[in-house]
Amino acid sequence: MISAPGIGSGLDVSGIISKLMEIEQQPLTQLNTKEAKQQAQLSAFGSLKSVLSTFQDSVKALAKPALFNGYKATLADTTAATVSTSSSASAGTHDIEVQSLAQAQKIKSEAFATTDTVIGSGTLTIEFGTYNEDGTFTANAEKTAKTITIDPAKSTLADIRSAINEANAGVTASIVNDGSGNRLVISSKDSGLANALKISVNDTDGNHTDNAGLSKLAFDASTGGVSNMTETVAARNAVMVIDGIPVTKSSNTINDALEGVTFNLLKANPGTTTTLTVEKDKSNVEAAVNAFVKAYNDLEKTIGNLSRYDAANKQASVLTGDSTMRMIQNRMRAMLGGNQSAAGGINSLSELGISFQKDGTLALDNNKLSAVLNNPDKNIAAFFTTQGGDDTTSVEGFASRLSELIDGMTRSDGLISSRMDGINSTIKGIGKQREALEFRLESVEKRLRAQFTALDTMIASMNQTSNYLQQQLANLPKIGE
């Protein structure tokens, strides 16, 4: 072990070894440089794969038939109703008249002094149905009657309100103070004539029909029925007229009168007709095509940043000249710029207003795209999406074929992954080379230190001998003395 090399000889042993090791370590420096380049390429292909996947998302959006099946509906009088559509709608115009709005029945009790006033105990049975013109009541077969027990210990106005709400009987109960007292208000949750209320009472006082005890809450508007509560809002159906055809529904939301169109009625205006226009919704298609162009341009810019060469500064990018990068770029450009065998009377993207610029990016002429969307002879859906029922008769759309091309680049066994696997293999090999080289360098440094230590010792010994001889010679008698 050398504690202070060079002390005996005066040589800078550590400095000499350091310089020699710098020469020996040049292969290690080269390995580190090579690894850094491989890591940069690995990161670059990761970025490329990511932006390709984003582009593929925009392509897949264009491959979905539902994108092109959208409709929009516009009602001239927007105060009458709001309208929405589904893919089952059909283009056309319709005359719409809203004659009445559906409403849910509401009934109120007499006024009570406080919410803590005891009303009575027993049971309340709530039924739903229709009060007919002949004075009879027809129960709603789709709804089951609900019986609510009112305990004597919990029979105040507030208690009964809570019991009704907790029973989930299809009604809501609230207490309203109108200045004359506190009234129980019961409202049917559902609108329409078939959801009118009938409340039967089984009063613990034995009299179920008088206006005393729990019987105060009885309500039966049929002939001969007992109604100790008063109707404040009558049950009513919605009535609208579509192209002269009356449509009656229990709700103001009507989705089964005109196929593919849902109405939410807002205001009745009997005798006044407004126009409903249903047409293809081109905005979603335009947005999807714009997103497609933008995503491709992002891809092209990424490829440019990773592969361009700065001639002025003679500076290459991380993937300049890379064959995989060129292959991807060339395949994409060939696919987007070539003629297509898709259906729909459209043979190329340029017919949709999509064209290449000098820098390799795409430009979109929205006016040209809009013209195609408005042209009945051009079927943009047939161009982008796969048409037909099975693999033998279907015509694969442009978007589907482009997505398959990208799959071949981005999937786990695809072009980019294979290239990245090769880079990872190279990096792994560099790691093994580094381990071997570092082991050899350690041995070289030990050998050099041993050699220079021996040299230092030898020179020190020679210096001591030289000094001794000089002393002895100096002590010899001089001639002539």
Percent of residues, the chain, with pLDDT higher than 90: 59
Q: Are residues 55 and 153 in the same domain?
A: no
Q: Are residues 136 and 60 in the same domain?
A: no
Task: Identify the residue whose tokens are 């309203």.
Answer: 176
In a domain? residue 457: no
Evaluate if residue 3 carries a pLDDT over 50.
no
Of 433 and 293, which is predicted with more confidence?
Answer: 293
In a domain? residue 222: yes
Q: Are residues 259 and 214 in the same domain?
A: no
In a domain? residue 363: yes
In a domain? residue 389: yes
Q: Are residues 183 and 204 in the same domain?
A: yes
Of 210, 325, 344, 183, residue with least CA distance to 316: 325
In a domain? residue 455: no
Torsion of CA 179, 180, 181, 183, to 10 degrees: -90
Q: What is the 3-state secondary structure (H, E, C) of 222-234?
A: CCCCCCCCEEEEC
Task: Identify the residue whose tokens are 């539902």.
Answer: 66
Domain limit, last residue, from 168, 200, 233: 233
For position 1, what pLDDT does the model report? 38
Q: At what angle do helices 283-307 and 323-337 cross, to 10 degrees?
A: 150
Domain limit, last residue, from 215, 250, 280: 280
For 138-142, 213-217, 337-341, which range has the lowest pLDDT when averaged over its residues? 337-341
The structure tokens listed for 333 are 């450009």
Mean pLDDT of the chain: 88
In a domain? residue 454: no
**Per-residue pLDDT tens digits for 184-216:** 999 999 999 999 999 999 999 888 788 889 999
Distance from chain centroid for Cα 129: 44
In a domain? residue 160: yes
Q: Are residues 250 and 312 in the same domain?
A: no
Percent of residues, the chain, with pLDDT higher than 70: 94
Of 243 and 479, which is predicted with more confidence?
Answer: 243
Q: Whole domain around residue 113: which residue ranges?
A: 106-233
In a domain? residue 462: no
**Bridge-partner residues for 265, per DSSP?**
81
Domain limit, last residue, from 360, 395, 418: 418
Q: Are residues 132 and 89 in the same domain?
A: no
Q: Are residues 193 and 117 in the same domain?
A: yes
Cβ atoms of 114 and 182 closer than 8 Å: yes
Q: Are residues 296 and 413 in the same domain?
A: yes
Mean pLDDT of 431-450: 75
Mean pLDDT of 227-253: 97
User: What is the model's pTM?
Assistant: 0.67
Q: Are residues 112 and 224 in the same domain?
A: yes
Mean pLDDT of 421-449: 76
Mean pLDDT of 229-243: 97
Cα–Cα distances (Å) from 421 to 43, 292, 320, 329, in that order, read 12, 29, 19, 20
Q: Are residues 158 and 228 in the same domain?
A: yes
Mean pLDDT of 314-327: 83
Task: Tell me how many domains the chain contains.
Answer: 3
Q: Are residues 245 and 356 in the same domain?
A: no
Q: Are residues 333 and 414 in the same domain?
A: yes
**Per-residue pLDDT tens digits for 165-181:** 999 999 999 999 999 99
